[in-house]
Amino acid sequence: MSFGGNVSEIQFATPQTVKEAVKCLAGAKGRAKVLAGGTDLLVQLRAGMVRPALIVDIKHIPELSAVKREDGGFRVGAAVSGAELGANKAFRKAWPGVLEGLELIGSTQIQGRASLGGNLCNGSPAADSVPGLIAAGATCKIAGPKGTREAKVEDVVAGPGKTTLKPGEFVVSFFLPKRPKHAGDAYLRMIPRTEMDIAVVGAAVSLEFDAKGVCTDARVSLGAVAPKALLVKAAGKALVGSKLDDDALEAMAAACRAACNPIDDKRGTIEYRTKVAGVLAKRAARIALERAQA
């Protein structure tokens, strides 16, 4: 802020290609913010938490707004809204748990705008779509001044409000792999109301089974129980080789509880989050099993 003068201006850019966007971000005089659905950025702007020199709207870049099949899996643009992805029946069939996470972000109105890319890059430990993506083994394509790279979703967030993205980098798209025959995923979260809240605890489970119903692969991810969403490998391990009997589920829940490293805050306590992480992981695993059997 310069005083004795005018208020500072915020520039706005609408690049049409990834290359242009990289150039825009690199050329910013001061702080630049990437705008996808805007459901976090606009709140921060209004609250005065950020006042960037430049806002780059990436929604005009075709790659950012497209959902495509790739290698039997899906390539989802980082700015695709929940409402758009939800309308894709093939995606809903393959990755219902991922979609559950995305669709739990905010209201119908928020669904018209909120995206996987925005939810991830906002860096909230409670982001609803992130555990589902991590459990799914999703990766993302990141563009920046040094070209593009692929990263595991669990490696993008560094901690509350912080990402591992380097200056000038942004997420272009997500890749969700092909689903084998007997597979299912699910995401559950605990909120005080039925809608409109931030997760107090979130749990996503993605499972694969062989023809006999024995679990061959399991990935369990927890949200809001640590500085960032966790991939709880021990929890997955507890399920592999089982048919999700009660003992296996309890072992998985115990692994989840052990992995929790939450805080006491306005939304929950350490004790609550730890206990409920196990409860939700079990429930999500049962839903994922049902889906795999369907």
Chain residues binding other proteins by CB under 8 A are 1, 3-12, 35, 37-39, 42-43, 45-48, 51, 55, 57, 59, 81, 83, 106-110, 112-113, 190, 192-198, 200, 265-269, 271-272, 275-276, 279-280
Half-sphere exposure of 179 (CA within 13 A, CB side): 24
Rg (the chain; Cα; Å): 19
Residue 112 or 227 having the CB closest to other proteins: 112
User: Which residue, 44 or 216, has its beta carbon nearer to other proteins?
Assistant: 44
Nearer to other proteins, 17 or 107 (CB): 107
- Angstrom distance (rounded) from CA 138 to CA 186: 14
Question: Token pair for residue 265?
Answer: 């805050």
Q: Are 278 and 205 in contact (CB under 8 A)?
A: no
Of residues 114 and 183, the one with the C-beta less far from other proteins: 114
Q: CA nearest 135: which of 165, 107, 176, 103? A: 176
Minimum Å gap between C-beta 157 and other proteins is 20
Pairing of strands 215-223, 230-231: antiparallel
Taking each helix axis as running N to C, give the angle between helix 246-259 and helix 270-293, from 0 to 180 degrees, rounded to the nearest 10: 140
Q: C-beta of 111: minimal distance to other proteins in Å? A: 8
CB-nearer residue toward other proteins: 71 or 195: 195
Quote the least distance from Cβ 212 to other proteins, whole Å. Answer: 30
Residue indicated by tokens 């009660």: 246
Least separation in angstroms between residue 74's CB and other proteins is: 21
How near is the Cβ of 182 to other proteins at its closest, in Å? 28
Q: How far apart are CA 222 and CA 136, in angstroms?
A: 12
**Bridge partner residues of 201 (DSSP):** 190
Output the smallest distance, CB 201 to other proteins, in A: 9
Dist CA 19 CA 286 (whole Å): 44
Nearer to other proteins, 60 or 237 (CB): 60
| Cα distances (angstroms) measured from residue 3 to each of 6, 8, 77, 125 | 7, 10, 41, 37
**Least distance (Å) between residue 16 CB and other proteins:** 13
Cα separation, 99 vs 89, whole angstroms? 11
| Identity of the residue, 48 or 147, whose beta carbon is nearer to other proteins in the bound complex | 48
